[in-house]
Amino acid sequence: MNDTTTTTEVKQRRYTIHAREFGRRPASVSRFRSLDKAAQYIRDRWQGAEYIDGRDVFHTDFCQYRLIGFDLRDIGKLGWEEEGGHSWRTFAFNEPQAAPLAEDCAGAKGGAA
């Protein structure tokens, strides 16, 4: 931030998902202010780890999704499994972050316990 920039001019980080139906244009764009909300959008469409095309791309039977500003590693654990000479991709979503409870906030700020 330079001397002429105010805090209201600083953009909040956004997480963007471009969804393009196969054979159609243009992509629809969804923007989220929190990683948890972006993760929930993905969970609602998720068809399994076999649909992952890369760290920032996955698809369903009808649509391809490109993640901008984050990737699948930010919202879950991406890995590989092997057995009997075969390997496959795995993915497990992180648990959503819960909002702090009012009593937790009071205790953290030095309030009465």
The total of structural domains in the chain comes to 1
User: How far is 27 from 73, CA to CA, in rounded Å?
Assistant: 23
Domain assignment present for 74: yes
* Range(s) of the domain holding residue 28: 12-108
Closest by CA to 56, choosing from 38, 43, 69, is 69
For residue 18, what are the CA distances in angstroms to 13, 71, 79? 16, 13, 24
| pLDDT-derived band at 96, boundaries 50, 70, 90 | confident
Stretch among 11-15, 68-72, 97-101 having the lowest mean pLDDT: 97-101
94 located within any domain: yes
Q: Convert the pLDDT of each residue in 12-48 to its tens digit.
A: 568 999 999 998 989 999 999 999 999 999 999 999 9
Among the listed ranges 42-51, 78-87, 93-102, which one has the minimum average pLDDT value?
93-102
Q: CA distances (Å), 111 to each of 11, 99, 101, in order?
A: 33, 18, 13
- CA-based end-to-end distance of the chain: 39
